[in-house]
Amino acid sequence: MTMNAHFQFADESVWQDTADAGVRRMILGYGPDLMMVRVVFETGAVGALHHHPHRQGCYVASGVFDVTIDGVTKRLRAGDSYFVPVGDMVHGATCVEAGELIDAFTPLREDFLAAG
């Protein structure tokens, strides 16, 4: 399945555990070349440094995060955002205060669908 409905409702959606303790995700809308994902972190949880061929944008909806991209770390708060402009650029996030990230990927993260 490479496309879901036009509308996604939080109360009909499921949380997935991730490989990172204290980090859960909910898949939002997606098609072949775009996917949005909501990711909730507990305080102290670490989204380990990783890389993938997808390009990624991320909006900090709440909380405080120390985000590392390509070896540079910055502290981001609600309203801030980050961007991974090319594939396989190493990035990760440490949650300083519990919060939520809204990720966008191009293309689709087929691995997230498989994990569901």
Q: Does 96 bind a second copy (CB under 8 A)?
A: no
Q: Is 40 in the site for a second copy (CB under 8 A)?
A: no
Does 5 help bind a second copy (rule: CB under 8 A)?
Answer: yes
**Distance between CA atoms of 84 and 13, rounded to whole angstroms?**
27
Contacting residues for 52 by C-beta, under 8 A, at least 6 apart: 87, 88, 109, 111
103 in Cβ contact with 39 (< 8 Å):
yes
Q: Which is nearer to a second copy, 22 or 57 (CB)?
A: 57
**Residue 52 per-residue DSSP state:** -
Contact call for residue 84 and a second copy (CB under 8 A): yes
91 contacts 51 by C-beta, under 8 angstroms: yes
Using CB under 8 A, pick the residue from 64, 69, 93, 95 that binds a second copy. 69
Single out the residue of 21, 34, 90, 115 in contact with a second copy (rule: CB under 8 A). 34
Among 8, 16, 18, 94, binds a second copy (CB under 8 A): 8
